[in-house]
Structure 1
Amino acid sequence: MKQNLWVIICLAMGLLGGTGCTSSVNKTTDYAAYVNPFIGTGGHGHTHPGAMVPHGMIQPGPDTRIHGWDACSGYYYEDTKINGFAHTRLSGTGCADFGDFLLMPTVGEQHIAYVGEKEDSNHCDYASVFSHEREQAEPGYYAVFLDRYRVRAELTATERTALHRYTFPASDRSGFILDLDYAIQEQTNQQMEVEVVNETTVRAYKRNVWWAYRQDLYFYAEFSKPFSYEVSRDTVRVGTRTEPRCKLLLNFSTAEGEQVLVKAAVSSVGYEGAEKNLKAEMPAWDFEGTRQAARQKWNDILKKIDIRTTDAGQRTIFYTGLYHAHFSPNLFQDVDGRYLGMDLEVHQGDVNDPMYSIFSLWDTFRALHPLVSIIDPHQNEAYIRSLIRKGTEGGLVPKWDCVANYTGCMIGYHIASLVADAYTKGYRNFDVKEAYKACLRVAEYDTTGIAPVVPRWLYPYIMPVARYYKNEWGYVPCDKDNEAVAKALEYAYDDWCISILAEALGDTANAGKYAGFAKGYENYFDPETRFMRGKDSEGKWRVPFDPRRSTHRADDYCEGNAYQWSWFVPHDIEGLAALLGGEEAFVGKLDSLFMASSEMTGEEVSADISGLIGQYAHGNEPSHHITHMYNYVGRPWRTQELVDSVLQNLYFNAPDGLSGNEDCGQMSAWYILNSMGFYQVCPGKPVYSVGRPLFDEVTLRLAGDKTFVIRIHHNSRTNKYIKSVRLNGKPLEVPFFTHDDLVCGGTMEITMSPVPTAWGTRKRN
């Protein structure tokens, strides 16, 4: 794929400059220069190159398509036209929303015909051709030249505001189109309002329905140049329904090279909130100052991990991963502390303890939150406090919260994982008792207390069906519920997390009860096929059975098949090994996963099953712990070589550099942890499994001015096996170390080998 000039320059800077580990280097290193925001914008990564700051509430950036799976972030690298620059978007998800308040500069006649019924329905009538050669992206900044209008567009941002800069040609017909009805994918616009406050200021409101079943958003914008205007309203036929359209057409004259700036802010609370956000965060027309401030915010994040390597491509992948890992969750509170709660009412919050949204917990409990617990544990505590408040307001902690909406997306109740992992690591700056109650609530729900604004049709989706195995059958019958095996396996893990919390809090009754539920995975193990398999309400195995078969979101598994899901027992690997017949049988079965044909069967195989090594699917989250399972059965060299294979072959410094959806930072968090040389197999157990370190040296800058240094001897592309490890000068004989070992600071020295060794085969105490 083509690479833009900026990326090439950044790579050259990386080759010349490198990164260091001393404090003096850290103060001067521009880590943002190592980031390539175009990684993941191709393939099915679903990331975007827009301008934003860490966890920003606003994400101004280019929109290149409306429809289809690869429109999830609004931008797709293979596209050749830009519709304009919207202010909201998701990153790396498998579902889309947003694309709100699209702004497009124009020169000449403004074309706004509806093209939804045309073949080229991904592009608006006013879209412009562009080329990647004249496109640039870096943390906190995006720029592109719009060929149709001969306008250079530049974007930067603060937490809640966007600043646009457009360089126009000479024309007496320059202007902008502010498109209120534009939205990514098949959203339904219910309400749209626009008001011209004065000759340089506009405000707007819209309510639409899609993934978020009620999304209210307010917009406030100031222009650096006075304009004349026209409001265009009409209706269009979309399938069987009629939808309103609303666009604001702005016009003015420009001289050659004249720059017109636009300041914009959003709020989910109201017009006043959007205006306050703008006045507080964007008081001046200082584009370069805002751009540099955004870059500094990214450097403050990226400098938390310093790597030393001669491989510029791997450095770029690493820091781009760290960049993507700080997109979500997103800030969801105005500067005055007000926010929209899960009851869809406005609440007054604490400006020093803001609310967040966009919690893709099914993905991020696995690696993103464990990563944050290392490099910014107080931020992770803030996420938990936010989720607890959401549960109080809405009646239940959401599985996937999207701007104060229960989406009901995915399975499990992984708030239990976040709370248990933070608690066992000693991070407890949240109401532990309320958190524990929230975990019990989602595990044993009823419909009382759920916010009345939640549509009743959503109830089966926003809440788990744990009642099946906790009350009636003792398992989830496949003829009573969809994705029964996957749900039950995740319930068992989450219940183990609850048992850990119960024991720590002295609730012995629930500790025993949930420890029993944690063994529920045993109900799905079929000793004949040696896979986790669906069982119906009469206790009979699902027939016919094919472990390769997948029917996306409509079978006994979730975005996977029996090959992948049979390994989701992270809390009891020893128990799973026993079911399989002991360590040797376990290893044989595990080998078969990676050695099997990658062929899938079924009419609608899940597109999420990607990044295949045999039947191991790295492109989707349920597989992410599996390579480290060899460490538990005395085969650490297999973990090392498989982790190396994933790191080297499934992540690239290219637009299609991810093997699956980024999923709000999870795919990148896996890379970050594993490239440093370790991974947490079971959040809730504060233990890290040693894998294959990729870099010559890593320095983790921790809370309390502590550092943890991982130094690699004889590191090379071929030396992927570990010969020896010393932790703070003492030999480490097992392929595990604890969270305390890491956060207390120190040094781990790893010596590598070109061939497998006996290191790490010693049994754990």
Structure 2
Amino acid sequence: MRSTKLTFYLLLILLVSLLFPACNSKQPETDYTQYVNSFIGTQHEGHCFPGATAPMGMVQPSPESYNNHYPGYEMDHVTGYQYNDPWIWGFTQTHLNGVGCPSMSDILLLPYCNNEIDPSLRSNFKSTYDKESEYATPSYYKVYLNNHHVNVELTATERVAYHRYTFDNPESAKLLIDLQYGVSWDISTISENIIEASQQFEDEYTLTGYRKAREWTHRELFYVIKFSKKIANKKELETPENKEENAPRYLLDFNMDGNEKLEVQIGVSTVGISEAKANLDAEIDGWNTFDNVREATNKKWNDILCKVELKGDEEKKIAFYTSLYHLYIQPNNIADIDGRYRSRENNIEQATGGEFFSTLSIWDTYRAANPMYTILSPDLVSKFLTSMMDSYRTMEPDPNNPREANKYLPRWQLWAKETHTMVGNHAVPIFVDAWLKGIKTSGYSEEQVFEAIWNSVNKPHYRNHVALVDSFGYIPYDVQLSSLDDGRETVARLLENIYDDYCAALLAKELGKEDEFNFLMNRAGFYKNVHHTESGFMRGKNAKGEFKTDVDLSEVVGEWLPESDFTEGNAYHYQFHVQHDIPGLLELMGGKERFAQHLDSMFFSSEKPEVKTLVWNIHGTIGQYWHGNEPCHHVPYLYKYTHQPEKTDKLIRQLVDEFYYNKPDGLKGNDDCGQMSAWYMFATLGFYPVNPCGGEYIIGAPQVSEATINLPNGKIFTVKAHNLSKENYVVKSVQINGKVIDRNYLTHSEIMNGGELVFEMNHMNHHRK
């Protein structure tokens, strides 16, 4: 039995090595995880977690911190942890990276000894902790709980969380298991987190169960929890505050036999308990293997981090490799070791490629994160696409539910379930960008992919309003053709959806579908229909074609407001949201000089964006520019289309230095599943996908003297910045493979063919004319 298990484990390691191949098939000589600071983004709005995880793994064991309640508390704690919180009240097994809505934090465990605790309040179990003892790398987390007299260590494989507790007084060791807990928009509603639950102690070493959580979207989780020591006593606690709850809390005592250490392994699955057990058995080779697991997971991270080698100061390395780490936390493979997963329809499906990648924050990641994957991990991109096609194929339309009346590609998918969050159908640019770069979808034909794309952009579903767009050429805020037309975010929904039309048109052209190409490309020009010439801004219109008047240009609006124009943005942000046709937008605004003036009015405004109808403090701004939210991310590069390209260089330097740094609050905005991090990586390397579909990267200004990308095809692409310094950050000239570039962009093929990109840098006061 052990030899069979060992053989399977070796095969699993081989599969992971194929999924994340080491740099040019060589083992990295440097431990790049030394440059990852897992605490960056864990204070204020970064919404990152410090716990352990395997690359794109299903579990992320990490602490849940606690503070006295204050306005905005829930927004700060959507991923369960804030660096400056004084208390920890447990360790949960699942987390999201840098999102803006609460979810996950499943199965809370809290070890303690020497204490008798009143269980009537959850907060009674909180403990202060030794901040000096808190330590984290991608594969490992540890902390000492002062009140509870226990040292906690966490590591993980793809589907198993592995805890190790060292008690000061093992004879009084206890473990709290809270199966009801989970983060939410209201900390007082933990009692409502679980809709259904069942659990059982199968023997004196094992607890198994099922839970269905409700926050953000309904999720099913099956689990097995194994203990290295025999349970001596178990007690089910009364529910806190006498509220009715669907999942219990247990307090366990163990026969420690004089041993100070207790290990706990938690295997999970979306399919069933037996599958959770199989995942655990396949990935963990018995007890006392914590350090082996930590080392193996650390190697998996090194195989990713070594994809880029930087030369520069240590602070830049830390910011860059932490960004690279954040990029590969997700999308998460939620399939079991046998390739099965639970679909959005609650059916058990077999993933076409053996993995099913979910956690798709597509509204954010299509802009930079997904293009970065096409450079560093094209094979992985193909697996993402296959997973999204699996979602489309298995979706069951519901004619009685307008949101689900037609099939569409995922929009914001969490554990295979659609959250209906954000706007656009931005799986479309991800598919088309990959296709144009030669990355195809395994298991599906071109016609099947095009059908999914065509239906996603042309058949009505939540927030795409195609009937209104085809009838009016825009989305009026005062008309309803269906129950889905709510008059909200009308300008943003138009601009984001017609970008998808443009991308779909590119694929139609490649496939020889001229009629579809012409139809989609025509609709891609509808941004002109909401451009208010007098003000120069995009603006909402009614059915009569009348623009809104008395618009507050600074106010950030969104789906929470009737007749709103934008999605988490203001007029300045969406003024430039025409990623597919910057030359056309430039002409519409009156030429290069006027276009630059519009950019100046954004970056050099004396006012900042402001949410006036919610408690939402906006950080990470330069004038009206808001780096902390995605619609702005391409805008600093737009000066490269004018006669003032040096302003892009200046802005990139400012953003890199001021909005990304080596402290817990060193990320000025939600990381949003790697998008903020991918922006930093592109900025550091010196190019950026303003139009993230088709393979053109606008040339920016590199932030390190040298960076080498170890491409997955075995070739090497090197970026060098000659004469780069604190004062010399403006691009004087650019060469690729010894030839001067007289254009403002670099192509994907130029990168993937390998070679050398060389920048000559100059002082701001001596920029090129």
Structure 2-normalised TM-score? 0.89
- Answering whether residue 527 of structure 2 is matched by residue 521 of structure 1, we say yes
Note closer, same or farther for the CA distance 1:696–1:183 as it changes in structure 2 (3 Å cut). Answer: same
Note closer, same or farther for the CA distance 1:269–1:419 as it changes in structure 2 (3 Å cut). Answer: same
| Matching residue of 2:12 | none
Q: Is the 8 A contact 1:619 1:661 kept in 2?
A: yes
- Give a deviation string over 1:372-429, Cα, whole Å, max 9, x none: 0001011111111111110111232221011121110000000111011111112124
Q: Secondary structure of the equivalent of 1:589?
A: helix
2:674 aligns with one of 660, 665, 668? 665
- Give a deviation string over 1:154-192, Cα, whole Å, max 9, x none: 010100011111101224331211110111114531122
| Matching residue of 2:412 | 400
Structure 1 residue 747: Cα displacement: 0.7
Structure 1 residue 598: Cα displacement: 2.9
- Answering whether residue 291 of structure 2 is matched by residue 288 of structure 1, we say yes
Q: Is the 8 A contact 1:64 1:81 kept in 2?
A: yes
C-alpha distance in 2 between matches for 1:552 and 1:484: 10
Question: Counterpart of 1:364 in structure 2: which amino acid?
Answer: T
Structure 1 residue 153: Cα displacement: 0.3
Segment of structure 1 superposing worse, 670-679 or 746-755: 746-755
C-alpha distance in 2 between matches for 1:597 and 1:604: 21
| Matching residue of 2:340 | 338
C-alpha distance in 2 between matches for 1:305 and 1:485: 39
C-alpha distance in 2 between matches for 1:207 and 1:23: 43
Q: Is the 8 A contact 1:267 1:274 kept in 2?
A: yes
C-alpha distance in 1 between matches for 2:355 and 2:64: 29
C-alpha distance in 2 between matches for 1:608 and 1:357: 30
Question: Counterpart of 1:648 in structure 2: which amino acid?
Answer: D
Structure 1 residue 685: Cα displacement: 2.6
Which sections of structure 1, spanning at least 5 residues, go unmatched?
Answer: 1-21, 116-122, 447-458
Question: Counterpart of 1:281 in structure 2: which amino acid?
Answer: E
Matches within 5 A, 1:168-567: 168-185=167-184, 186=189, 188-212=193-217, 214-232=218-236, 234-235=238-239, 242-254=244-256, 258-285=260-287, 286-309=289-312, 311-350=313-352, 353-394=354-395, 395-430=407-442, 431=444, 432-446=446-460, 460=462, 464-470=464-470, 472-480=471-479, 481-553=487-559, 554=561, 555-567=564-576
Question: Counterpart of 2:521 in structure 1: which amino acid?
Answer: A
C-alpha distance in 1 between matches for 2:351 and 2:326: 27
Structure 1 residue 252: Cα displacement: 2.1
Note closer, same or farther for the CA distance 1:230–1:253 as it changes in structure 2 (3 Å cut). Answer: closer
Question: Counterpart of 1:467 in structure 2: which amino acid?
Answer: A
Structure 1 residue 609: Cα displacement: 4.5
Segment of structure 1 superposing worse, 357-366 or 276-285: 276-285
Q: Is the 8 A contact 2:198 2:247 kept in 1?
A: no
Q: Is the 8 A contact 2:24 2:712 kept in 1?
A: no
Structure 1 residue 538: Cα displacement: 2.0
Question: Counterpart of 1:150 in structure 2: which amino acid?
Answer: H
Q: Is the 8 A contact 2:365 2:675 kept in 1?
A: yes
Q: Secondary structure of the equivalent of 2:45?
A: coil
- Give a deviation string over 1:195-238, Cα, whole Å, max 9, x none: 111111111211121201x2110110211110123342655679
Structure 1 residue 358: Cα displacement: 0.4
C-alpha distance in 2 between matches for 1:740 and 1:112: 64
Note closer, same or farther for the CA distance 1:400–1:589 as it changes in structure 2 (3 Å cut). Answer: same
| Matching residue of 1:450 | none
Q: Is the 8 A contact 1:62 1:75 kept in 2?
A: yes
Structure 1 residue 94: Cα displacement: 0.2
Note closer, same or farther for the CA distance 1:608–1:25 as it changes in structure 2 (3 Å cut). Answer: farther
Note closer, same or farther for the CA distance 1:606–1:476 as it changes in structure 2 (3 Å cut). Answer: farther
| Matching residue of 2:736 | 727
Structure 1 residue 254: Cα displacement: 4.1
Identity %: 35
Note closer, same or farther for the CA distance 1:114–1:566 as it changes in structure 2 (3 Å cut). Answer: farther
Question: Counterpart of 1:179 in structure 2: which amino acid?
Answer: D
Q: Is the 8 A contact 2:115 2:148 kept in 1?
A: no
Segment of structure 1 superposing worse, 487-496 or 250-259: 250-259
- Give a deviation string over 1:296-322, Cα, whole Å, max 9, x none: 00000000000001x211110000000
Number of residue-to-residue matches in the alignment: 712
Segment of structure 1 superposing worse, 100-109 or 557-566: 100-109
Q: Is the 8 A contact 1:360 1:400 kept in 2?
A: yes
Which sections of structure 2, spanning at least 5 residues, go unmatched?
Answer: 1-22, 68-72, 396-406, 480-486
| Matching residue of 1:133 | 132
C-alpha distance in 2 between matches for 1:252 and 1:237: 27
Q: Is the 8 A contact 1:164 1:262 kept in 2?
A: yes
Q: Is the 8 A contact 2:196 2:247 kept in 1?
A: no
| Matching residue of 2:16 | none
C-alpha distance in 2 between matches for 1:150 and 1:234: 25
C-alpha distance in 2 between matches for 1:524 and 1:207: 43
Q: Secondary structure of the equivalent of 2:764?
A: coil
Q: Secondary structure of the equivalent of 2:525?
A: helix
C-alpha distance in 2 between matches for 1:24 and 1:703: 9
- Give a deviation string over 1:339-377, Cα, whole Å, max 9, x none: 111221011235x53001100000000000000000101
| Matching residue of 1:59 | 60
Question: Counterpart of 2:450 in structure 1: which amino acid?
Answer: Y
Question: Counterpart of 1:194 in structure 2: which amino acid?
Answer: Q
| Matching residue of 1:19 | none
C-alpha distance in 2 between matches for 1:719 and 1:142: 39
Note closer, same or farther for the CA distance 1:227–1:608 as it changes in structure 2 (3 Å cut). Answer: same
Question: Counterpart of 2:155 in structure 1: which amino acid?
Answer: T
Note closer, same or farther for the CA distance 1:24–1:369 as it changes in structure 2 (3 Å cut). Answer: closer
C-alpha distance in 2 between matches for 1:581 and 1:719: 32
Matches within 5 A, 1:632-651: 632-651=641-660
Q: Is the 8 A contact 2:207 2:226 kept in 1?
A: yes
Note closer, same or farther for the CA distance 1:205–1:25 as it changes in structure 2 (3 Å cut). Answer: closer
Q: Is the 8 A contact 1:235 1:244 kept in 2?
A: no
| Matching residue of 2:13 | none
C-alpha distance in 2 between matches for 1:270 and 1:608: 42
- Give a deviation string over 1:30-74, Cα, whole Å, max 9, x none: 100110000000020000001001101011111114960111111
C-alpha distance in 1 between matches for 2:567 and 2:615: 9
Structure 1-normalised TM-score? 0.90
C-alpha distance in 1 between matches for 2:433 and 2:25: 34
C-alpha distance in 1 between matches for 2:28 and 2:675: 28
Note closer, same or farther for the CA distance 1:202–1:23 as it changes in structure 2 (3 Å cut). Answer: closer
Q: Secondary structure of the equivalent of 2:638?
A: helix
C-alpha distance in 2 between matches for 1:235 and 1:171: 27
C-alpha distance in 2 between matches for 1:600 and 1:89: 30
Structure 1 residue 758: Cα displacement: 6.3
C-alpha distance in 1 between matches for 2:120 and 2:529: 55
| Matching residue of 2:3 | none
